[in-house]
Amino acid sequence: MISSSNQKVAVVTGSSSGIGFETSLTLARNGFLTYATMRNLNKSGNIKSVAEKEKLPLNIAQLDVTDDGSVKNTMQSIIAEASRIDVLVNNAGYVLNGAFEDLAMDEIKTQYDTNVFGLIRTTQTVLPIMRRQKSGIIVNISSGAGRFGYPGQSAYISTKFAVEGLSESMSYELEPFGIKVVVVEPGVIRTNIVNGMVVAKKSQDPNSPYLQIIQKMATVLENMMENGSPPDLVAKVVLNAVTSETPSPKYLAGKDIETLMEAKRSMSDEEFSKMMMQNFMK
């Protein structure tokens, strides 16, 4: 599907399920020529079926954010077809679960390669295009975990803290070129992210000194998932951001994260830490 001259073009990473899936469909339903990208095209059946049924302006493209060549080739292909990229939604990511001491260095590096360096690869590839256009918006899907820590997912949380700092810093540099940077911070969202969670090898050892903490966290997470928000809530937040003339730098997505951030604002660091200990560790 080729872009019409006034149709905006959006690229979404990690679109085979969850937030990326819903965001791609939401943008396409609202007139964006959308490229729903994913590492494994064998997982494209669902989104392809919906797009065909609804006759949406949506194309599916293979893109592995951990592969320089894949990112470069896919973006070049999109530009050749659509001539522009107006929106980049950096959504691809996964959770590495395990106590910090139990994490192997290779496991941490792999987590960063997707969640941080993957975002860097796609963004650096798209920025020259947006600069030439003198317009564009980068939407980085962070997490409530980019605003405060909790036990059991230190590697994942640190990647989201990195995304927050990276986004804030680059926003100053890109503003003069007409490019906006937005961070979306979902709370607990009912997706298959738990099924896709990678558990550190040492954390699976019954002799791990952190076993009880990890088991407790698993129970807490299961309970939170039951009350989590649907992924289309995040998609609507993204749509709001990319269609706003003056988007906010940060958007919370979900009542749970709104409540927690309100608590964090009203409490001292010590009070907030004590509350988190009570919620997650006891």
Q: Which residue, among 107, 126, 170, 150, has the nearest Cα to 35 in the 3D structure?
A: 126
pLDDT in tens, the chain (282 residues): 545 567 999 999 999 999 999 999 999 999 999 999 999 999 999 999 999 999 999 999 999 999 999 999 999 999 999 999 999 999 999 999 999 999 999 999 999 999 999 999 999 999 999 999 999 999 999 999 999 999 999 999 999 999 999 999 999 999 999 999 999 999 999 876 666 789 999 999 999 999 998 888 888 888 888 888 999 999 999 999 999 999 999 999 999 999 999 999 999 999 999 999 888 876
The rounded distance, in Å, linking the Cα atoms of 280 and 220 is: 7
> In this predicted structure, what is the pLDDT of residue 39?
97
156 a catalytic residue? yes
User: Is 149 strand, coil or helix?
Assistant: coil
The rounded distance, in Å, linking the Cα atoms of 22 and 34 is: 12
Q: Is residue 124 domain-resident?
A: yes
pTM value is 0.95
> In this predicted structure, what is the pLDDT of residue 35?
98
Q: Is residue 121 domain-resident?
A: yes
CATH of the domain at 234: 3.40.50.720
Count of domains observed in the chain = 1
Catalytic residue from among 156, 172, 210, 251: 156
> In this predicted structure, what is the pLDDT of residue 14?
97
> In this predicted structure, what is the pLDDT of residue 197?
85
Q: Containing domain of residue 249, as a range?
A: 9-281
Q: Is residue 1 domain-resident?
A: no
Q: Is residue 254 domain-resident?
A: yes
Q: Is residue 129 domain-resident?
A: yes
> In this predicted structure, what is the pLDDT of residue 218?
84
> In this predicted structure, what is the pLDDT of residue 194?
63
Left, alpha or beta for 100 (phi > 0: left; psi -120 to 50: alpha)? alpha
> In this predicted structure, what is the pLDDT of residue 225?
83
E strands along the chain, which residues? 9-12, 33-38, 58-62, 87-90, 96-97, 136-141, 179-186, 198-199, 250-253
> In this predicted structure, what is the pLDDT of residue 280?
82
> In this predicted structure, what is the pLDDT of residue 193?
64
> In this predicted structure, what is the pLDDT of residue 278?
87
